[in-house]
Amino acid sequence: LIGRISFPKPQKTAKTENKPSATQMNWSFAAGTNLLKNLRSDEDSKLTLNHFAAELRSFRVVDISGRNFGDEGLFFLAESLAYNKTVEEVDFSANGITAAGLKAFYGVLQSNIYLKTLNLSGNPIGDEGAKCLCEILVNNTGIQKLQLNSAGLGDEGAKAIAELLKKNSILRIIELNNNMTEIG
């Protein structure tokens, strides 16, 4: 079982020379985590994500933070997480994910009961994204920790989260640091 995968930073050469190959991938067998180093959202990175998505089903922790893959990357990766029975923690922080991108998680979080921690901090999901996420999580029986720090949440997002907490007894920890609300 592969627990960690790391991709080196691509060299700035001709586009055809920049495509990742099996020899460019450094595999690590440290149990339980993976990192995608220096992955950027361009054509080469999409090819790398395509190869990675097949392996995603075997990881316990997925950390793809700060890669700015946006909504398109989330749509692409969500399918790999839907029926994953091993992943317990996903960190998609600081990736430019918006409220529209969170819709990709609807099927994932309805079918995946194994995912325990979801980090979407640093993504501009705003109140609309918070409402969407709360609709998705209302019947989820897996997520215990939700991180939405610096996610552009306001009063409406805070209200949606408060309603979610009334209906979902599994969710125990919610991080909401650095969001602006008028209520406090």
pLDDT in tens, 64-75: 899 898 998 888
Q: Do the strands 173-175 and 26-28 form a parallel or antiparallel pair, or are they unpaired? A: unpaired
Sequence-distant (≥ 6) Cβ neighbours of residue 21 within 8 angstroms = none
For residue 100, give the CATH number of its domain: 3.80.10.10
Q: What's the total number of domains in the chain?
A: 1
| One pLDDT digit (tens) per residue for the chain, 184 residues | 444 444 443 444 444 344 333 333 333 333 333 444 444 446 666 666 666 666 776 788 989 899 898 998 888 888 778 778 889 999 999 999 999 999 888 888 877 889 999 999 999 999 999 999 999 999 999 999 999 999 999 999 999 999 999 999 999 999 999 998 776 5
C-alpha–C-alpha distance, residues 168 and 164, integer Å:
6
Nearest to 51 by CA among 74, 80, 28: 80
Instruction: Report the b/e string of 30-44 with b at 16+ CB within 10 A.
Output: eeebbbbeebebeee
Asked whether residue 15 is assigned to any structural domain, the reply reads: no
Asked whether residue 131 is assigned to any structural domain, the reply reads: yes
| Structural domain range at position 139 | 4-8+22-175
Question: Are 144 and 113 in contact, with CB atoms under 8 Å apart?
Answer: no
Asked whether residue 181 is assigned to any structural domain, the reply reads: no
